[in-house]
Structure 1
Amino acid sequence: MAGKGFQEKLNELLQAANVKLNGGRAWDIQVHDERFYRRIWAGGSLAAGEAYMDGWWDCEALDELFERLLRSRLDEKIKARDWWWDALVARIFNLQKPSRAFQIGKRHYDTGNDLFRIMLDERMIYSCGYWADASSVDEAQEAKLDLVCRKLQLKPGMKVLDIGCGWGGAARFAAERYSVEVVGITVSEQQANFAQEYCRGLPVDIRLQDYRDMNEKFDRIFSIGMFEHVGYKNYRTYMKKVRELLKPEGLFLLHTIGGNSSVTRNDPWIAKYIFPNSMLPSARQITAAAEDLFVMEDWHNFGDDYDKTLLAWYHNFEKGWPLLKEHYDERFYRMWRYYLLMCAGAFRARSNQLWQVVLSPEGIKGGYVAPRYRGKSEMELEQKIR
């Protein structure tokens, strides 16, 4: 196909999403390098992201562009020539085996605490907030943490495990607000060091440890934004380990991004530049992994809230870039911008979901009542009572 042919074919596909090449709307694609067209057809989504990082094209509103592309399912119509090879590798090899468990920590979460301090809320919670009654990302994250604790029915003195504890924000919240003892594990050295200091003086034990190496018993377990790194070959292993660690009368809350279909690999650009060896579980994959190990008590989807969360992170990132650019180059800026806005568009298009799943080993006697929305005034009143 000649260069002009590549352009015409791309233009034709984009019409289905109401997107134009070099158009005048915020979500239209502005092409700066004519090699862009051939590169897209040869490399698919990986090539599109790399071409953006290289400055070959721009878009004023990347989130709106991706919402349109994903709603029209154009991502399924343009695949790299060697996409089958990546799929084959993911099927043959366990990309998330124990010897590779710490790769995600080094590649992503150790990028720099300065970046995440500027981008995230005051507690540095790197997962979807709960925006039912929130007007800021700080309020949304506090509401989410409170929701998790209420769903787990935390009581003073309980021993709780936080799988994938991040910078310690959830562990500290649970210890301070609900008077529980928390063990938090992470595969990121920078996160562990930060969390240990952040939780100093509280009954919180932060460890640099893989979940498969745990051998204790807990009253409650939660995992917020970590299951996306487990990998489909390990979903069953993960559920078995959680069941082993959880007391018979306990509760487990899984907070994870989810996909609408079962996959064995992630988007190639995300896998290469943002989250190596990650993938989004489907509802079927989660339930199959938990089958005969747990009773399903509750399944809550608030994926639309991730769009708001990602946009809040993006605005913080843009505002803080004058400070960050002393340590990160322009290519990193374009990569991070692309990542945040692409993901926002995916959640807005409802291609990605955000699930909180509550599981119990033997079923809650008398039934489980799942909490949902609670206003700020109620939270403040309960804090005063405590």
Structure 2
Amino acid sequence: MTDAAPRLAAVAETLLGTPLPVRVRAWDGSEAGPPGTPILVVHNRRALRRMLWKPGEMGLARAWVAGELTVEGDLFELLDRVGGLLWARVPATPAPAPGTPALVPTVPTVPAAPAPVPTVPATPLRVNGSPPVLPASVLPAPALAPPALPATAPVPQGPAPRRPRLPGRLSRAADTAALLRDPRARAAVRELAALARPWPAPAAPPEEARRRGGPRHTRGGDRQAISHHYDVGNDFYERVLGPSMVYSCAYWSPGGTLEEAQHDKLDLVCRKLALGPGDRLLDVGCGWGSMALHAAREYGVRVTGVTLSREQAAYARKRVADGGLADLVEIRIQDYRDVADGPYDAVSSIGMAEHVGADRYRDYARTLYALLRPGGRLLNHQIARRPEPDEEAYRINDFIDAYVFPDGELSPLGTTVGELERAGFEVRDVEALREHYALTLRAWVARLEAGWDEAVRLTSPGRARVWQLYMAASALAFEHGRLGVNQVLAVKSAARGDAGVPLRPRTWGPGPEESPGA
């Protein structure tokens, strides 16, 4: 019998309360859902078992990483169509009893219809004014006791009824309570369990980071987290990032290439820091040395770059030697908290602060402040999330924490600026680069997919799928404004308040007399 896809579609529409926005193909060859849309391919029942044992985002992520779920068609379009269904918040799941799958799906708040796929301009426009991180995770609802499972469990027709929305936690609690009372939702769960048989819980893919006990963001814990993300092979990162080896958002101009945009971003940082010959620059989280090389080569700066990744350090040191810059650039394997040879004229922190953690951020800001001379500048380039109505409810995204950036945390821009000010900095400029990061991520995905076989050979099929999903979903998050990225320029003001910053540090565009045709 080839009816798995129609049954899956009926289950999904019942539980989600809305028609499926994409087509589904099941392991038996059957298909269901709107034609002409990307196809979500469910290769075997094990993918469903993952969703039952680990409801929500993590079950889906494990099935994707394991290759049990794939996409035919445009991955960006599929993620954009299903994003409203998968990335809404609902209550967290208590751990089920040993040997018992948690048989309750998520209850997201969904839009009436899928949002249109945004068009990314072929020639990006520069704006004045973002691995990588996904939108809010799906947090499954509390587990039910396992129902008696018939061989087949017919699903009542029609979606579960929509419920009035209430604010914040009241809404999520009301959704959960209504689900537990809804016979159609309970029948849909039984049908999903029948499709998923047999029952053993699949092991997590080997690419998943194993959770450590104890506090986050200790020196040892940070070394492990950095190693998980960065020590996967420099050749793999060359495949994804390109020759620049810059792993942060580029700064695009019309018709520009990725390499040109990354060069322009590094130069923008140097100009904001007002670097000049002989200045001392501390590059925190120096990666593969691109910022250090650019500052030394183009501005004559003496640079100290620090990283916790041994693979990054080895790669950066070779680039320094090959470029004849060993007299200007030193690359250290060192925690920024252990740097003790200040003062520096400037500090650059590009895409590193996301690893610091909210509880440690004030110490991070104070450490960098202490390492600067009076009048010295900090350029903090950092991804930001939108504020939560209840900030105490924020939790780290499960997929990102397990597969991409273990222990990574995002904060709203206002929180970051406040912590820098509390440390003593005077914030002089904030430039938002959200659209630039969306374009950068799409360029990285294109490079990964163009060299897919090589990327798989250099790491593993699962690791390549992690990066493909992470970067594509992140691009959409930046495009839709769920994530941002900002360059914050802050100064350790000298005596009597002298910040050494020009009265008009930025030009916002031509005036009326400079407009075309004027």
Q: Which bin holds the TM-score, normalised by the shorter protein?
A: 0.7 to 0.9
2:361 alignment partner in structure 1 = 235
Task: Give the superposition deviation at 1:370.
Answer: 3.5
Identity of aligned residues (%): 33
Q: 1:366 to 1:218 in 2, by over 3 A?
A: closer
* CA shift digits 1:266-323 (9 cap, x unpaired): 2111110111110112113202311231111011111111121111111211222333
Give yes or no for contact 1:150–1:371 (8 Å, CA) kept in 2: no
Q: How does the TM-score come out when normalised to structure 2? A: 0.65
Task: Give the superposition deviation at 1:25.
Answer: 4.1
**2:290 is the alignment partner of 1:165:** no
1:378 alignment partner in structure 2 = none
Take 2:508 and 2:294, find their aligned partners in 1: how far apart are those partners?
18
Task: Give the superposition deviation at 1:342.
Answer: 1.6
**2:435 is the alignment partner of 1:304:** yes
- Structure (1 or 2) with the greater helix fraction: 1
Take 1:366 and 1:328, find their aligned partners in 2: how far apart are those partners?
46
Take 1:235 and 1:169, find their aligned partners in 2: how far apart are those partners?
25
Take 2:18 and 2:400, find their aligned partners in 1: how far apart are those partners?
23
Give yes or no for contact 2:16–2:85 (8 Å, CA) kept in 1: no
Give yes or no for contact 1:43–1:79 (8 Å, CA) kept in 2: no
Q: Aligned runs of 1:193-342 on 2, under 5 Å?
A: 193-200=314-321, 201-202=324-325, 203-215=328-340, 216-261=342-387, 265-292=395-422, 293-342=424-473
Helix, strand or coil at the partner of 2:330 = strand
**2:277 is the alignment partner of 1:156:** yes
1:8 alignment partner in structure 2 = 13
* CA shift digits 1:42-86 (9 cap, x unpaired): 52111111121233333332323333444x3741245652459xx
Q: 1:30 to 1:349 in 2, by over 3 A?
A: farther
**2:210 is the alignment partner of 1:103:** no
- Correspondence for 2:505 among 370, 376, 384: 370
RMSD value, Cα: 2.8
The number of residues matched between the two structures is 365
2:185 alignment partner in structure 1 = none
Helix, strand or coil at the partner of 1:119 = helix
Task: Give the superposition deviation at 1:24.
Answer: 3.0
Q: 1:47 to 1:337 in 2, by over 3 A?
A: same
Take 2:503 and 2:37, find their aligned partners in 1: how far apart are those partners?
47
Task: Give the superposition deviation at 1:346.
Answer: 1.5
User: Which letter does structure 2 place at the counterpart of 1:65?
Assistant: L
Deviates more, 1:346-355 or 1:30-39: 30-39
Higher RCO (CA-CA < 8 Å; seq separation 6+) = 1
Task: Give the superposition deviation at 1:110.
Answer: 0.5
Q: Aligned runs of 1:92-131 on 2, under 5 Å?
A: 94-131=215-252
**2:64 is the alignment partner of 1:52:** yes
- Correspondence for 1:360 among 477, 491, 514: 491
**2:298 is the alignment partner of 1:177:** yes
Gaps spanning 5+ residues in structure 1: where?
85-89, 375-386
Give yes or no for contact 1:175–1:182 (8 Å, CA) kept in 2: yes
User: Which letter does structure 2 place at the counterpart of 1:290?
Assistant: L
Q: 1:75 to 1:37 in 2, by over 3 A?
A: farther
Moved over 6 A (4+): 2-5
Q: How does the TM-score come out when normalised to structure 1? A: 0.85
Take 1:170 and 1:114, find their aligned partners in 2: how far apart are those partners?
19
Task: Give the superposition deviation at 1:329.
Answer: 3.1
